[in-house]
Chains A and B, each alone.
Chain A
Amino acid sequence: MEEEKEINNRKEDKDSSANEFSQGRRDALKVIATVPVLGAMAYGVYRKKKAENTNRNAAEMFRFGSKVAPYSPTSSGAQVIRVGIIGFGIRGTQLMQGLGFATPEYVENLIEQSRINSANTRYQDFVEQEDLRVEITAVCDIFDTYAEAAVNAGANIHREGVGGTLGSKPRRYRHYKELLAAPDVDAVVIASPDHWHGTMAMDALRAGKHVYLEKPMTWTVPETYELRSLSRSNPHLVFQLGHQNRQIEAYERARQIIEKGLLGRISLIETGTNRNDPNGAWVYPIHKDANPKTIDWKQFEGDPDRIKEYMDYMTSAGLSGYVGPESRDKFSLERFFRWRCWWDYSTGLSGDLLTHEYDAMNQILHLGIPSSASSSGGVYFFKDGRTVPDVLQTVFEFKQRELTMLYSATLASQFSRSRKIMGHDATMEVGNTLTVTVDPRSEQYRTQIEQGVVKPGEPFYTYIPGQSVDAVSTATERYFAERGLLYSFISGKRYNTTFLHLKEWLECIRNGTQPSCSIDQGFEEAITAHMGTRAYLEGRTMYWDKDKEQITRE
């Protein structure tokens, strides 16, 4: 302690004439000299909190009492549902994984990846994915290699790599109708090419099976009505249209924001698709084992009734140029693996990708079927003989709602464009997170803008699933949320949306309830997509006659 003594031995202290009282007071002052600093800190913190609270009050209107339904796991005693899989291509494989089944080779690959990179948790996620109480009893694919893979995936009940213990193998059926006739199948997952969707779904309903049908719901317009009436007359069979974005929390919050009128009157919705790689443009790899012996081309061609409906429309509308160009009965590996590139099997950008955008907006705004659709575009980039355009713009008018929805797509640029719902008072950008930006000319928020509480043009409200973040949340929080880093932190676990959508379907089968994307939502979406497609093909505006429920040309 000598040093302190030295330091404090200031000249005055050494002066013996200084009186004790004065020194004591001075010492006391030195001790408590910094206490006022704490007072200043307290005052600063108080002022800052007060300012934040004012902003919070302004953000209060964006607070919602209702929570999005919490996640509830499937009980271990739930009834086991016996599922048949029709189609084990790219999407079929993903759907099987959503159900908890993958080939040992696939699992082995995941194990290998996690070994190479410990940050890769896909293997762990897959193993830990909840057991949905499903048994795969039947599979059908018209390409032998895919069918065998589906059998192995269905048997891999312990989700193990190569050399693991397999369960009993599901039976492989060569024709989907044989699978539908199997008594040990309660429900089917259909992931075939578009031109088979409606037919297979209708046959499945007729066979008394619950149906999970990948979007788009139908390939031709006439089958859309037929499927709807068949599903309506079989309400005990649960029909779910496969849309993996039905379980996105942010959409539910977006709906609430609009319902409260926080955006003001909405006049324009902008959506789109941007992709920029061959895979995204449907140029999928051709399997080395594929040949006329391993592929049942006859079955691939399609259902004769459907083909007739397709040809009737194409011929009567003068669209023969879009048919083919190759003959339907001619075996073609390109057409088998890349069928989305030809109208003969495909529904194009409308059926494949517009449907996602429309479904998102239909969930949030309950748009229903548009009053009209106009489209333009062309095959501008992928000059590979395809008939389906790679650039497409479709404008949907909702006359009764007094708003327009624009869909704009290119398969040759990956530039990121957010979905925007534009209102008179604010614009909302919708993705996995929501951002609301107040309009400078807003009337609803005029006072708040004048008070400086709301800064127009800057994101005012951000919603991150599981947590409400507003104008006062830190830039850090938003930063991490936008990059998806926050999700695992907030909910502890990220869920695969395909898994959630399948889970909902299975729960509805067990409880006898209706799923979120049932036949009526499916019908609205299918008609909307068909209107967009027809507008493109015919080069003129298509209208919806609400009373007659028909697509018309004027």
Chain B
Amino acid sequence: MIQLLYFARLRETLGSDGENLDWPEPGTISALKHKLAGRGGAWQEQFAGNASLRAAVNQELVPDSALVQPGDEVAFFPPVTGG
């Protein structure tokens, strides 16, 4: 299992702030996005079509090539706009 979190506009677009997902083997962020995009609709749009989406694994920003291990906390969100 991994814990997924969605923030800001992404959270509203998906209608979810997060979930637990079955993730038995290590895999990349790209693979995870592909899996989520497979749900279709807004999921497909956001995880396949939104190039600006950012990812964090265990609260560190990572590129799409980063590995996600079972037990990790993975967050997806739009580019940040604080300050």
Say if A and B assemble together.
no
Question: Which residues of A line the B interface, CB within 8 A?
Answer: none
